[in-house]
Amino acid sequence: MQKIILITGVSSGFGRAIAERLLGDGHIVYGTSRRELDFSLEGLIVRRLDVTDRHGVKSVVDSIVQEQGRIDVVINNAGVGIAGATELASDEEIDLQMNTNLRGVVGMCAAVLPYMRAKRSGTIINISSIGGVFAIPYQGFYSVSKFAVEAYSEALSLETKQFGIRVVIVEPGDFNTGFTANRKVSAATIDDSDYGKSFARVIKNIEQDERGGGDPRYLARKISKIVRKRSPRLRYLIAPNFIQKLSVAAHTVLPNRLFEILVRIFYSV
């Protein structure tokens, strides 16, 4: 069945791969981006949008419903990453991280939910991260934002299931996307005498893992299957390798002290 789908953040990485896959599945796909796309996908209907702009979000959602009569699926993919010592994060860095990764999701859901409730149907897929399952060193507020998305999505699922709305959390591991190149780095941390050297080691390891990570098309295929499901699960871990899957399981079963030791060793903190 052809669905009307809205994806945020389609300019690169997951968003682009998901849009391409869902177009190939025969759906009508709208994508948003803060900037003009440097590629074209046949059939993709693009709307310029900053997800932190609540009025802009509502305007885009309203216009799609006016054109199509409904929105069946929303995929909240837009996000930003800021790397740095949690202690040294500025108010501006915290605001950017939370406004994009959390409030952007909240605003989009608030705009689309009245239409989904009226239809008694709809699917909301929120892209979280393994960093929303356990905290990643020097990406503290990125993890904070993703932990918040997880809690928000759980609450939303509990409240909206009565209206036939399905909420899904997707937790990607390391994938080779534009996220690595687009990550913002805290100058205060680089220049700090206590954190600087440790930060450089950890970020080097993180970026190596990301560049050697999975193909975003793998995640896009998983999203395609979720979109087709009549009753999807609340949570999907999509990790391209066994180590990342094992790390999530270890976080669940190991004592906190032991898990922290393993994370510090893995990231060379």
Which amino acids are annotated catalytic? 11, 128, 142, 146
How many other CB atoms are there within 10 angstroms of residue 232's CB atom?
A: 16
CA distance 231 to 166: 7
Q: Which residue has the tokens 């202690």?
A: 87
Spatial CA neighbour of 232 closest among 160, 152, 125, 130? 125
249, burial (CB in 10 Å: exposed 0-12, middle 13-18, buried 19+)? exposed
Q: Angle 242-253/256-267 helices, nearest 10 degrees?
A: 150
Any residues with CB less than 8 A from the CB of 205 and at least 6 apart, and which?
Answer: 266, 267, 268
The encoded tokens of residue 1 equal: 């069945």
CA distance 150 to 12: 23
CA distance 219 to 170: 9
CA distance 11 to 19: 10
